[in-house]
């Protein structure tokens, strides 16, 4: 009898302890480089965070507008000290600070967006945005009348150059003679400069403005001039309803959910992942009514091909600006080359310096 | 480059020079009274945020623009309190105002990022905008640009032709003599700081109400510092400030247009242009002895009259 009692107590305490373990909430922290209201990069990440907050047993919090560098290290250190289980840092410049903090807190799991450095407890992730850019390029190519498309771009780094190249390939898929003119602003978020850059492109005859910037400044410029625009990050229709055609957009929710599920199951390990459109991480915003049905169908067909893996975007022959073949006929550029891309494809007016 | 490129370039120069012009005129006014206000950037960004919030709340850009001026005035009053009441170091106080303004505006403005405020739209001036070349360059902008055409002559008249303006300059040139002549130097310096701050606030509001209709952290992007340098370039003369502001606006617009027209020059070099020009301008100004035209008592605190 006593033995039975003891057994029951042991069983109960065991089940109690497992119940406690199951109820232990997963604390997930996010660090954003800009305010979440920017309708751009950080906004898209925060939509993903909100999806996590609805998962059972997950608690999320975020710090917005954290400057890259020492400031971000302090924020991450704080989160790690407070016992956060998973920390997502969503800007390239957070890479080195995160690596430092990751080494001090081996039990915390760190995820860095858009970088390349890793540790045992630090993985990195990004999405194949160039696939969506290719599709948005098709839309721009189908809508331009002057055969000149303006592209306001932030910094000449591989991520942006790859996006411009994919966009241009998309343009050429429907409009082989069209050119894409590029202006660098050297800022991710400065509406005044971005708008001025867009205007300078409009002055040289561009009638569709695309952007790799986080503010809707270029959209405004296009609408004021009465031409079309392609957004970025999230659906920017609200900023320029008469100009905005579509936008390559981020959809982080499914990805963030899968990471957290892995952590909950204990199967998470530090990896470098680069999922594509088939997982839904990147997508094309709904078309504006200004895009003719015929063009919409064409783009949707290309989208289906990309999702099915039939269209890999960077498949040769692809020439650079000088006409030299960079990707040979029938060859698909390996990821390594895409990640380190520093040259423009033929049909782009501008320099990568 | 043909006229199809040059005219839009010059028009863009006028527009991107306008916020700098407001701020430069404000700083000239303040410095003429003998106070150095390095907090231009801080006053501008507070004006920019205030203007944006008021426009969003009331839907009236004109009201927003005026209130933004008063916000810039309030910010500059902080500088006045430090320098005129407590005889604090003007350089340190100005720098602190820049940091305070940027921090405060970023903090208070976070929830406004991503919204669009009603603002000023271009209104071509009848007849004048039809003039070839000059029309599109000068008379096809928003009303706030036209306003800047009136301010420099008025400021010049005030500073050189009115008793009050001459007294204000006396406070900046030789406060001891001004005091002996029975002028209340501190009061004139307050006037210089407050009116100057008003213009700086307007310059900031131009960015959030006319240039774009958005709010973002660090919207002013260092334009306040360019204004400080332009005051020296302009030899403290409102007329020359117009020239300087459009020159800088032109350089900013030019580098983007050079890129758009397909130049092979590295963009990093082009982006350096406005800042390189600032350094060159400062060196040239001191060579030409222009720096001697600074108000003699600039940055020197005065003792209050008992």
| Burial classification of residue A298, based on how many CB atoms lie within 10 Å of its CB (0-12 exposed, 13-18 middle, 19 or more buried) | middle
What is the CB neighbour count within 10 angstroms for residue A277?
Answer: 23
Contact (CB<8Å) B211/A195: yes
Q: Is residue A39 domain-shared with residue A161, that is, in the same domain?
A: no
Domain boundaries, chain B: 3-116+128-293
Domain enclosing residue A13, as ranges: 2-125
Confidence of residue A352 (pLDDT cuts 50, 70, 90): confident
Which overall architecture, per CATH, does domain B3-116+128-293 show? Orthogonal Bundle (1.10)
> Does residue A210 sit in the same domain as residue A332?
yes
Q: Please give the Cα distance from A325 to A313 (Å, whole number).
A: 16
Beta-sheet pairing, A325-327 with A318-319: antiparallel
> Chain B: residue nearest A34 by CA?
B217
Q: Are residues A114 and A210 in the same domain?
A: no
Domain boundary among A90, A125, A160: A125
Q: What is the pLDDT of residues B91-123, one digit of tens each?
A: 999 999 999 999 999 889 888 887 888 989 889
- What is the average pLDDT score of chain B? 90
| Domain final position from A125, A149, A174 | A125
Q: Are residues A155 and A24 both part of a single domain?
A: no
Rounded CA separation B95/B108 (Å): 20
Q: Between A and B, how many CB-CB pairs are < 8 A? A: 108
A35 to chain B: closest CA residue: B110
Q: In terms of domains, do A245 and A184 share one?
A: yes
**pLDDT-derived band of residue A21, with 50, 70 and 90 as boundaries?**
very low
Q: What percent of chain A has pLDDT over 70?
A: 93
Return the closest-CA partner of residue B246 out of B23, B20, B7, B6.
B20
Does residue A144 share a domain with residue A112? no
What is the pLDDT, as a whole number, of residue A140? 96
Residue A277 lies in a domain: no
Chain B residues in contact with A351 (beta carbon < 8 A): 263-267
Q: Name the band, by pLDDT with cuts 50, 70 and 90, for residue A19.
A: very low
State the pLDDT at residue B276.
85
What is the per-residue pLDDT across B196-225, written as a single tens digit (0 to 9) for each? Answer: 999 999 999 999 999 988 888 888 888 999
Cβ separation B8–A203 shorter than 8 A: yes
CATH code of the domain covering residue A332: 3.40.50.2300
Our separate counts of H helices and E strands in chain B read 12, 0
pLDDT in tens, A284-336: 999 999 999 999 999 999 999 999 999 999 998 999 999 999 999 988 898 88
First-to-final CA distance of chain B: 64
**For residues B149-175, average pLDDT:** 95
Q: Do B262 and A349 touch (CB under 8 A)?
A: yes
A18, pLDDT greater than 50: no
Query: How many distinct structural domains can be found in chain A?
Result: 2
Which tens digits make up the pLDDT trace of A102-143?
Answer: 999 999 999 999 888 899 999 999 999 999 999 999 999 999
- In this structure, what token pair is assigned to residue B146? 């036209």
Q: Which residue of A has its CA nearest to B261?
A: A204
Could you tell me if A166 and B225 are in contact, meaning their C-beta atoms sit under 8 angstroms apart? no
B114 and A186 within 8 Å at the Cβ level: the answer is: no
User: Do A174 and A287 fall into the same domain?
Assistant: yes
Q: In angstroms, how far apart are the furthest CA atoms of chain B?
A: 66
Chain B residues with beta carbon closer than 8 angstroms to that of A196: 12, 16, 252-253, 256
Question: What b/e string do you get for B203-217 counting C-beta neighbours within 10 Å, with b at 16 or more?
Answer: bbbbbbbbbbbbbbb
Is the pLDDT score of A22 beyond 70? Answer: no
Q: Are both A23 and A47 inside the same structural domain?
A: yes
pLDDT top residue among A152 and B290: A152
Asked if residue A343 and residue A295 are part of one domain, the reply reads yes
- Domain boundary, last residue among A108, A125, A142: A125
Q: What is the pLDDT of residues B128-152, one digit of tens each?
A: 988 888 898 999 999 999 999 999 9
In contact, A53 and A60? CB cutoff 8 Å: yes
């Amino acid at each position: 009898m006593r033995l039975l009692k003891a057994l029951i107590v042991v069983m109960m305490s065991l089940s109690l302890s497992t119940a406690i373990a199951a109820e232990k909430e997963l604390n997930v922290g996010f660090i954003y480089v800009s305010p979440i209201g920017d309708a751009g990069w950080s906004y898209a990440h925060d939509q993903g965070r909100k999806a996590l907050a609805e998962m059972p047993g997950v608690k999320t919090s975020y710090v917005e507008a954290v400057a890259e560098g020492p400031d971000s290290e302090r924020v991450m250190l704080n989160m790690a000290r407070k016992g956060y289980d998973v920390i997502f840092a969503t800007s390239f410049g957070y890479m080195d600070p995160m690596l430092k903090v990751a080494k001090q807190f081996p039990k915390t799991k760190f995820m860095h967006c858009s970088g390349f450095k890793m540790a045992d407890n630090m993985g990195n992730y990004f999405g194949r945005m160039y696939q969506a850019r290719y599709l948005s390029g098709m839309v721009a190519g189908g809508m331009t009348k002057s055969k000149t498309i303006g592209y306001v771009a932030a910094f000449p780094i591989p991520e942006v150059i790859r996006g411009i190249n994919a966009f241009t390939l998309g343009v050429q898929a429907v409009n082989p003679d069209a050119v894409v003119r590029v202006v660098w602003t050297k800022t991710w978020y400065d509406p005044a400069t971005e708008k001025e850059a867009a205007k300078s492109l409009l002055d040289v005859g561009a009638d569709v403005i695309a952007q790799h910037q986080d503010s809707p400044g270029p959209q405004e410029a296009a609408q004021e001039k009465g031409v079309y625009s392609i957004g970025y990050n999230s659906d920017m229709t609200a900023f320029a309803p008469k100009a905005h055609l579509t936008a390559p957009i981020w959809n982080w929710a499914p990805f963030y959910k899968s990471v957290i599920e892995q952590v909950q199951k204990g199967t998470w390990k530090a990896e470098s992942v680069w999922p594509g459109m088939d997982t839904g991480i990147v997508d094309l915003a709904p078309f504006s009514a200004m895009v003719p049905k015929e063009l919409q169908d064409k783009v949707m067909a290309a989208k289906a091909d990309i999702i099915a893996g039939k269209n890999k975007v960077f498949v040769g022959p692809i020439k650079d600006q000088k006409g030299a073949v960079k990707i040979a006929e029938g060859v698909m550029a390996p990821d390594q080359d895409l990640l380190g891309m520093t040259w423009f494809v033929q049909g782009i007016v501008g320099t990568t310096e | 480059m043909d006229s199809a490129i040059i005219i839009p370039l010059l028009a863009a120069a006028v527009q991107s020079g306008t916020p700098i012009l407001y701020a430069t005129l404000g700083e000239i006014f303040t410095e003429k009274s003998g106070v150095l206000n390095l907090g231009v950037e801080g006053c501008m960004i507070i004006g920019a945020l205030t203007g944006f919030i008021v426009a969003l709340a009331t839907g009236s850009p004109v009201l927003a623009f005026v209130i933004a001026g008063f916000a810039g005035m309030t910010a500059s009053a902080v500088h006045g309190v430090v320098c005129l009441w407590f005889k604090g170091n003007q350089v340190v106080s100005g720098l602190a105002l820049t940091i305070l303004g940027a921090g405060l505006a970023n903090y208070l403005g976070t929830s406004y990022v991503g919204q669009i405020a009603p603002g000023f739209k271009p209104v071509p001036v009848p007849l004048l905008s039809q003039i070839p070349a000059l029309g599109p360059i000068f008379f096809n902008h928003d009303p706030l640009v036209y306003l800047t055409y009136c301010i420099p002559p008025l400021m010049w008249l005030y500073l050189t032709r009115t008793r009050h303006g001459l007294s204000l300059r006396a406070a900046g040139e030789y406060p001891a003599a001004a005091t002996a002549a029975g002028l209340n130097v501190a009061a004139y310096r307050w006037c210089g700081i407050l009116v100057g701050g008003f213009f700086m606030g307007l310059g900031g509001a131009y960015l959030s109400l006319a240039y774009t209709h958005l709010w973002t952290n660090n919207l002013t992007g260092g334009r306040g510092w360019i204004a400080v340098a332009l005051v020296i370039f302009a030899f403290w003369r409102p007329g020359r400030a117009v020239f300087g502001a459009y020159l800088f606006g032109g350089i900013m617009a030019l580098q983007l247009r050079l890129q758009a027209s397909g130049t092979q020059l590295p963009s990093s070099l082009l982006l350096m242009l406005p800042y390189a020009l600032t350094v060159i301008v400062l060196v040239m100004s001191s060579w030409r002895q222009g720096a001697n035209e600074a108000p003699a008592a600039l940055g020197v605190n005065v003792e209050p009259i008992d």
